Amino acid sequence: MIDFKDITYNYSHQSGVYNIDLKIKKDEFCFLVGPTGSGKTTLLKLLYFDLFPHKGKVEILKYSSANIKKSSIHKVRKKIGVVFQDYKLLKQRTVYENIALPLHINGVGRKKIKQLVNEALDLTELSHYSKKFPNELSGGEQQRVCIARAIVKNPDVILADEPTGNLDPTTGHRILKILEQINKEGTCVVMATHNYKLISDKAYRIIELNEGKVVSG
C-alpha cells in the first residue's frame, strides 16, 4: 500500500530525509518515532504529495510520485485523512461544519453528509459538541474534531502528525484509543510521535528515524 523507494528529500545540506526504503502494509498501524527534526513530518508530507522527493519515488494507493499529475493529486487525497498537530480547524465554523467540509469539497450530497458526520461525531464522542466553535473546546476536544474530519470521508489511510504532542497523558491515551479503533475497522494508520512513553506498551510496528534516516523498524 505504501512504498518508499530510496527516497531523499533535502531542505538543505544538513536537513531532510535520506535514502529511505520502507514498506507499510494495508491495515497496518505503525509509529514513526524520533526526536524533533528527525524527518517524521517530512515522510508524512511526501505521502500526501505535499512534497515530492528529490531522489527515488513514493507509491501510495497505486499512485506514484514519479508520474502523478497535479490534476490527480486531489484523487489520492480523497483516500487519505490527515490529522495535524495544530488542528487547522476553521474558527468561524462549528464542529459539525468543520467535519463536513471535506465532504462538501468532494461533492457529497447533503443527506449523506449528515449521516457520515454523525457517525464520525459518535466515534470521537463529540456529538454533544456539534454546534460549538473551536475556541469553545479544549485542546483534546479540538484534536478529536481533527480526527473526525480526517475519518469522515472513510479514507484508506490516516496520517497523524504528533496528534498527542500538545496534550496531557490522559487525553493522549484517549486520542490513541480512537486511532486504534479506526485501525481495527480496516484503515491503515501511520502516526508520528516523539512520545515513547505513550506507545511503550503497544505491540504495533515502530519505525525509528534519526537525522533523516531509518535506524530501525
pLDDT digits 0-9 by tens, 41-81: 999 999 999 999 999 999 999 999 999 999 999 999 999 99
164 and 193 in contact (C-beta within 8 Å)? yes
Which tens digit of pLDDT belongs to each residue from 202-212?
889 999 999 99
In this structure, the answer to whether residues 73 and 163 fall within a common structural domain is yes
Q: Sorting pLDDT into bands at 50, 70 and 90, what band is 33? A: very high
Nearest to 79 by CA among 145, 159, 157, 189: 157
Q: Of 108, 135, 154, which residue is a domain's last?
A: 154
Cβ atoms within 10 Å, residue 69: 7
- Give residue 196's pLDDT: 83
In this structure, the answer to whether residues 2 and 67 fall within a common structural domain is yes
Task: Give, in degrees to the nearest 5, the angle at Cα 92 between 136 and 155.
Answer: 90
In this structure, the answer to whether residues 147 and 162 fall within a common structural domain is no
In this structure, the answer to whether residues 119 and 217 fall within a common structural domain is no
CA distance 15 to 134: 34
Count: domains in the chain: 2
In this structure, the answer to whether residues 31 and 127 fall within a common structural domain is no
Please give the residue range of the domain that contains residue 71: 1-79+155-217
CA distance 50 to 40: 14
Q: Of 108, 133, 154, which residue is a domain's last?
A: 154
Residue carrying C-alpha cell 505503525:
30
The model's pTM is: 0.93
- Give residue 150's pLDDT: 96
**Could you tell me if residue 84 is inside a domain?**
no
**What single-letter DSSP state applies at residue 10?**
E
- Give residue 12's pLDDT: 76
- Give residue 15's pLDDT: 81
- Give residue 115's pLDDT: 97
Higher pLDDT among residues 201 and 93, named by residue = 93
CA distance 209 to 36: 10
Nearest to 98 by CA among 87, 88, 90: 90
CA distance 136 to 129: 9
Query: Which residues make beta-bridge pairs with 188?
Result: 157
Torsion of CA 112, 144, 79, 22, to 10 degrees: -160
Which tens digit of pLDDT belongs to each residue from 100-130?
999 999 999 999 999 999 999 999 999 999 9
Q: How many helices (H) and strands (E) does the chain have?
A: 7, 10
- Give residue 166's pLDDT: 81
- Give residue 145's pLDDT: 96
In this structure, the answer to whether residues 73 and 160 fall within a common structural domain is yes
- Give residue 194's pLDDT: 86
| Pairing outcome for strands 55-60 and 63-64 | antiparallel
Query: Does residue 184 register a pLDDT over 80?
Result: yes
As a whole number, mean pLDDT of residues 5-31 equals: 92
- Give residue 165's pLDDT: 84
